[in-house]
Amino acid sequence: MSTSNVAVIPGGTGSVGRCLIPLLLDRGFKVAATYLLPEEATALEEGLDYDEDRLILRRVDVSDATAVNEFMAEAAEAYGAINVMASLVGGWAGGRDVAETSEVRLDRMIDLNLRTAWNTTRASIPLMAEDWGRIILMGSKHALDAPAGQAAYNVAKSGVLALAKSVATELLDTQTTCNALLPSVINTDATRAALPYADYVNWPQPEDIADVINFLASEQSKVINGAFIPVWGSALI
């Protein structure tokens, strides 16, 4: 079993993860990541120059607690105790006020944003390294300003922030910290397609978010704990 630092990145083949994983590999990490879309996993692998024994990619439904537990256990068995768990799974569905929000839409937002953060965090805590550990969750600026027309998303992301703060408090006597990022809408092909008339010039880029996570995923970030970190730049939404 290697003494290299270990990072687990649920949702690692998304826009932010594709920027983050090369940074971690360049720093000598061994990385285990999940994906849902095979084409994203293929694109990530084809864009990397790395030793194959330093990256595990598994297709996992992160809203399924049993599947997450099995994936985390596999990563720890292969690589050792986890130093970094950055949960990047999430998604947006707007267009509905509270009175118009269906149970299906609410459940989808809770599953995709809050349940995935809960499952990955809960599964990783017992496996975190004793010398240093970082749990990083993806919240949202909208958890704070709660814009109209997307209440289910706002509520789910608010839950992510409560989770991050709770875990940070619970782990105060350990060397593991827990923080949440607060992006606005991230500038990706998917979000531009979903919001075709929005002014995306000032939206944060995936690589900008990855750079912040890369710093948090280090021993140098030890004084940051229980924080909600704004990463929306000059974006207004």
Distance CA 180, CA 60 (A): 22
Q: What is the largest CA-CA distance in the chain?
A: 53
Among residues 63, 55, 69, 141, the alpha carbon closest in space to that of 108 is found at 63
- In this predicted structure, what is the pLDDT of residue 96? 85
For 15-39, the pLDDT digits (tens) are 999 999 999 999 999 999 999 999 9
- In this predicted structure, what is the pLDDT of residue 200? 67
Residue with tokens 């267009």: 95
Q: What is the 3-state secondary structure (H, E, C) of the chain?
A: CCCCCEEEECCCCCHHHHHHHHHHHHCCCEEEEEECCHHHHHHHHHCCCCCHHHEEEEECCCCCHHHHHHHHHHHHHHHCCECEEEECCCCCCCCECHHHCCHHHHHHHHHHHHHHHHHHHHHHHHHECCCCEEEEEECCCHHHHCCCCEHHHHHHHHHHHHHHHHHHHHCCCCCEEEEEEECCCCCCHHHHHHCCCCCCCCCCCHHHHHHHHHHHCCHHHCCCCCCEEECCCCCCC
Low-confidence ranges of the chain (pLDDT < 50): 1-2
Residues paired with residue 8 on neighbouring β-strands, in sequence order: 32, 85
Among residues 91, 82, 130, 87, the alpha carbon closest in space to that of 109 is found at 91
Number of domains in the chain: 1
Residue-number span of the structural domain to which 58 is assigned: 6-230
Residue 22 lies in a domain: yes
Residue with tokens 């958890």: 143
For 156-201, the pLDDT digits (tens) are 999 999 999 999 999 999 999 999 999 987 767 676 666 666 666 7
**What predicted TM-score, i.e. pTM, was given to this entire model?**
0.93
- In this predicted structure, what is the pLDDT of residue 2? 46
Residue 236 lies in a domain: no
Residue 44 lies in a domain: yes
Residues near 3 by Cβ (< 8 Å), separated by ≥ 6? 80
The CATH number linked to 76 is 3.40.50.720
- In this predicted structure, what is the pLDDT of residue 188? 73
How far the first Cα of the chain sits from its last, in Å, is 45
Residue 139 lies in a domain: yes
- In this predicted structure, what is the pLDDT of residue 116? 98
Residue 160 lies in a domain: yes
Residue 124 lies in a domain: yes
- Gyration radius (Cα) of the chain, Å: 17
- In this predicted structure, what is the pLDDT of residue 236? 60
Distance CA 43, CA 113 (A): 24
Distance CA 146, CA 56 (A): 37
Let me know: does 135 contact 213? Beta carbons within 8 Å: no
Residue 1 lies in a domain: no
Residue 237 lies in a domain: no
CA atoms within 13 A on the CB side of 23: 20
